[in-house]
Amino acid sequence: MRGPSSRTSRVATVVATPVAILAASALIWQSSYAAFTSTTRNSGNDWATGSVALTDDDAGSARFQVTNMTPGDTQTKCISVTATTSGSGTVKGYAVNPVTSAQGLEDHIMVQVNEGTGGGFGSCDNFVSAGEVIPTMSLTTLATFDSYEDGAGGWTVTAGTHSRTYQVTWTFDTTGLSQNEVDQLQGAHTGIDFQWELRTD
């Protein structure tokens, strides 16, 4: 019996190769789609910080600029502070940058502060007090309240924009001084800055 000729073998090989490729492709296709799948996604996750802003209506000017002061002089003025915040927080006021004098004038400038609504830097007209936040004290004593932790007011704010007015009264008090001690205060100079700070909860 004669075996297949070399021509027949070549034809069989040529035919078998595509068949093998097709069979392998079918196996791969079947294995690729052999299971059900499903997915879900929680999209759009993002983190951003909030913001706070604290301003006043002094337009960069000092609230008090007093010259030629004499014993017994007194003055009352107001300033409005506005807090804008994306969350809740607390506003407090405290003293910074005290200026001392050789004569101790700061011991005799007495300051008292109320908080409330109405009025502003230009005028205390329509100011309505909600209470005293700084009882009458000298600039010397006020200067010891020099940080947020020691601050006065404790004004709580929520998200949004809120304003509060502070009414500040000063008096040049020489009570209990002799005439000579009063005279020693001539030509003296003192000062202090009022600062408000907002911190979020």
pLDDT digits (tens, 9 = 90+) for 15-37: 445 544 444 455 454 455 567 77
The 10 Å Cβ neighbour count of residue 133 is 21
pLDDT at 16: 46
pLDDT at 115: 95
Terminal-residue alpha carbon distance, the chain? 101
| Three-state SS at 195 | strand
Residues 134-149: what's their mean pLDDT? 94
The pTM of this model reads 0.75
DSSP code of residue 39: -
pLDDT digits (tens, 9 = 90+) for 146-166: 999 999 888 999 999 999 999
Please check the confidence at residue 104 and state whether its pLDDT lies above 70: yes
Q: Any long-range contacts for 177-186 (C-beta under 8 Å, 24+ apart)?
A: 177/108, 182/71, 184/103, 185/71, 185/103, 185/104, 185/105, 185/108
pLDDT at 43: 67
Task: Kindly report the length of the chain.
Answer: 201
Q: What are the structural domains of the chain?
A: 52-200 (2.60.40)
Question: What whole-number distance in Å separates Cα of residue 91 and Cα of residue 101?
Answer: 30
Residues 65-84: what's their mean pLDDT? 89
More confident position, 4 or 175: 175
Please check the confidence at residue 74 and state whether its pLDDT lies above 70: yes
pLDDT digits (tens, 9 = 90+) for 36-57: 776 767 666 767 555 667 787 8
pLDDT at 129: 96
Structure tokens at 192: 């202090």
Please check the confidence at residue 182 and state whether its pLDDT lies above 70: yes
pLDDT digits (tens, 9 = 90+) for 187-197: 988 888 888 99
Please check the confidence at residue 86 and state whether its pLDDT lies above 70: yes
DSSP string, 82-138: EEEESS-EEEEEEEEEEE--TT-GGGTEEEEEEEEES--SS--TT-EEEEEEEEEEE
Residues 114-132: what's their mean pLDDT? 93
